Chain A
Amino acid sequence: MTWTWFHRLASPPYLYRTAGRLIAWFAWPAAILIVAGLIGGLWLAPPDYQQGDAYRIIYVHAPSAWLSLMMYGVMGIAGGIGLIWRIKAAHALAASAAPIGASFALVTLVTGSLWGKPMWGTYWAWDPRLTSELFLLLLYLGYMGLRAAFEDLQRADRASAVLAVVGLVDVPIVHYSVVWWNSLHQGALVFIGRKAMPPSMLIPLMVMFLGFTLYSVAVLLMRLRAEVLNRERTARWVREEVGA
């Protein structure tokens, strides 16, 4: 197996064009899956016997939570690759992933607290999952803050990559310590994800998971293109590309 396809991705013009070609392959299936998942989740799935219609927020909440974690993984691994092999394209990918992950973390927190109001009677509970999601958002903000604080792009890339890798090691520790912290205080709250779901509820959820994942890959590619253009703004190929 040859790795030339992988090495070529390190070349900005090639990466820019490849990403551009790939977007449609992710964006259209994502749009179809999300529409299908929303129809399945919001209309076709029956209301929950305990939670009524309020549970339906899970069709947005759970995929967002998954992607907020996955984007951190993308950011940390891409940052590590950029750090070790000094690949600028990997740093560009890490930089593009951070705002997406942060947005998903925010969506997770907002939808979670909207669901919490009718279910728990409060917008915010010190539930372990909520709390560790909040710390995830803060880690994203720290990463983006560190990146913004440097004027030199290379230094910003490499310093923020160190932070992302440290975070990658630390995120599981933070998560489990928060889980232990709370389990010492109060019993576990009822989570609908734990119980077996009937297929009429589960299939739309799986469709939404897949749709959200494809959607975020498409957005990641778009951001990556913008990031590459911005980094290479003085290069000749960019001028030819944008026709200026």
Chain B
Amino acid sequence: MSEVSAWSAALPAAVPERRAAPSALAVARLMLERDLRLAFRKASQLIQPLAFFVIVTTLFPLAVTPSLPELRRIAPGVVWAAALLSSLLALEFLFRDDAQDGTLEQFALSGRALTGLLVAKTAAHWLLTGLPLALMAPIAGAALGVPQAAMPGILASVGLGTVTLSLIGAVGAALTMGLRRSGALLSLLTLPLVIPVLIFGARATQLAIKGESYSAPLLLLAALAVLATTLAPLAATAAVHINLE
């Protein structure tokens, strides 16, 4: 119930003139606001990926070694594998609720370009999982003995990398949104596609920890993000249409 009211409550405020159709940008902003508002009303879904990220990074000192020099060596891999899995965990909910209660169908029928709405939804997803993960990663890094100087590198690489993860993940989530128990399948679809993000992200983190310049892998991450921004929403739109047919 609260979801319906959140959507309708947002409408009159941002659309003062009922006759004139709101611009695509205004619609996208409404969508973003709505998704953020809904997410904050279900705070547990917001916290779970972050808690998962913390748990996964805690496993390594316990399973491998508590010695900080050793942990510092494996820290890039640990942080990135944990970030990848956490962002995957949150993906399942990206379209699930909207698909189940028919909201997504209404969006598709609204006469608005669905791609713009999906971009807004994906942006909301990044703000809710990618950005918190990027802020959390330096803290996890500190626990793994990563020096202070490497923190901007970790923040930037996880922040940029999760943009691509959200976008490609949105394609996987859109493909599997109609299926029950899609978690394992979603991982199988998405993980092989996002390997480049893992490689360049972990590389940037590793260079940052060593105190070297990490701009090359960071630029490659940015290139991947640009490419994904251009192409992934189109694929996600096609996938949503297929599942709504």
Contact = CB atoms under 8 A, between A and B. Distances in A.
Interface residues of B, number: 29
Interface string A131-155: 0000100110110011001100011
Interface string A153-180: 0110011001101110110011001101
A158 B192 contact: no
A185 B10 CA distance: 52
Contacts of A159: 175, 239, 242-243
A65 interface: no
A242 interface: no
Given A155-B243, A155-B245, A169-B231, A163 B195 contact: no
A67 B89 CA distance: 34
Given A159-B243, A162-B242, A163-B189, A174 B175 contact: no
Question: Main SS of chain A's interface residues?
Answer: helix
Contact of A166 (B193, B224, B242): B193
A120 interface: no
* Size band of the interface chain A makes with B: 20 to 34
B58 interface: no
B176 A149 contact: yes
Interface string B146-186: 00000000000000000000001001000110110010010
B193 A146 contact: no
B181 to A, nearest CB: 9
Contacts of B203: 181, 184
A81 to B, nearest CB: 14
A61 B191 CA distance: 26
Contact of B188 (A145, A155, A158, A167): A145
A83 interface: yes
